[in-house]
Amino acid sequence: MTIDSAIYDQIRDTTRRFADDVVRPVAVELDRTEAFPAEIYRQMGELGLFGITVPSELGGAGLDTLAYAIVMEELSRGYASVADQCGVVELIGTLLTRYGTPEQQQRHLPDILAARVRIAYCLTEAEAGSDLSNVKTTAKPTAEGWLLNGGKLWIHNAPVADLGFVLASTEPQAGHRGMSIFIVDLHAEGVTRGAKEHKMGQRASQVGGLTFDNVLVPKDALLGEMNRGFHIMMSVLEKGRVGIGALAVGIAQAGLEAALAYARERRQFGKPILENQGLQWMLADMAKDIAAGRALVERAAGMIDRGASATSAASIAKCFASDMAVAQTANAVQIFGGSGYIQGVEVERLYRDAKITQIYEGTNQIQRTIIARELIKHGA
């Protein structure tokens, strides 16, 4: 697929206006209340910000991974919790596009992409975070379909989701080669939601647990081939890591913009603090590292779009961008001084929001392991 560069500019401009006009004005309140951004979610569906790479014939935007990265960065520049919603829909939309039956696509994609249905990507368990091969949730066949038993934790949207895409063991003795994915009605009998977790950052992106107690799942709820669930989930991780890398760049970009504006206004010793060379160098380091992070994200996105292996590139982008976002939002707080340490000030929230990017979608320690493994396998 070849997309004219003007289309990317249009996507960035449209998403940036939405972030500035709709998202940023309520970010402080959403962070304070930890409320799900329901009205923003609805507007994102109307604007076409869900399913960026889902083909147009299936109701998506029909664009590419680079366009998705641009949307993620600009939404995150407004508020990362909002970008998280775009990321979850993108991954689920990709799974349905690649592996769903025509019936599953027709049943679920229109409501998901139009924001009429909220979804959750249900992987993590108490002993299965970075090590997904240790999933204990089971799905056993019955005459009517499957009986689902087990529990998930720290699942995005668990407190509010209507539909869950659940990784479960269908042949426990086969380890990761015996897992399958099921599309589960989270309002069904036997599904229990745990308490909403209270997080350090990205607080309006709600996280909680799910328990499945003999939940009857119909036969046509199996997504893709039986016992190929682990492979299917892994197949979207590169795109997921590009998305988190872009989200991290957006957080850092918001920090730079806030720090630059403050440095122009804040006066000490009779002059704006922007005139101090040491502070100028801090801003310069922020700008160059953000540019580097953006370039790495765009490189990995381009590799995915060309059909090249992006295993290492996606891990490099995610790892660098998230480490950078934590470091440079810390510098933004430093430039604000004491006021940057006060709740309600944007850079304080950005610093908290940045931290999770080093953890989810594979910790940065896992990313370094992947990068090293690829170096050993393929060379520098």
Structure tokens at 60: 């998506």
CB 43 within 8 A of CB 86: no
- Measured from the Cβ of residue 101, the count of other Cβ atoms closer than 10 Å reads 13
Please enumerate in sequence order all residues whose Cβ is within 8 A of that of 82, keeping only pairs 6 or more positions apart, or say none: 19, 23, 37, 40, 44, 75, 76, 204
* CB 115 within 8 Å of CB 163: no
Choose, from 73, 125, 238, 361, the residue flagged as catalytic.
361
- Cβ-based neighbour number of residue 331 at 10 Å: 22
| Number of Cα atoms under 13 Å in the Cβ half of residue 56 | 5
DSSP state of 125: B
Which spans in 170-310 are helix H? 229-234, 237-265, 277-306
User: Residue 125's closest CA among 117, 112, 134, 113?
Assistant: 134
Contacts of 53-59 with CB under 8 Å at 24 or more apart are 53/90, 53/93, 53/94, 53/97, 53/239, 54/93, 54/94, 54/96, 54/97, 54/109, 54/113, 55/97, 58/96, 58/97, 58/105, 58/109, 59/109, 59/110, 59/113, 59/114
The answer to whether the CB of 211 falls within 8 A of the CB of 33 is no
Hey, what are 207's tokens? 């996280």
Strands 179-185 and 138-141: unpaired
HSE, CB side, 13 Å, CA atoms: give it for residue 297: 32
User: What tokens appear for 368 in the block?
Assistant: 């370094």
Catalytic-residue membership of 361: yes
- For residues 27 and 23, what is the distance between their CA atoms, to the nearest angstrom? 6
The position carrying tokens 């922020």 is 286
- In the three-class reduction of DSSP (H, G, I as helix; E, B as strand; rest coil), residue 183 is classed as strand
Catalytic residues: 361
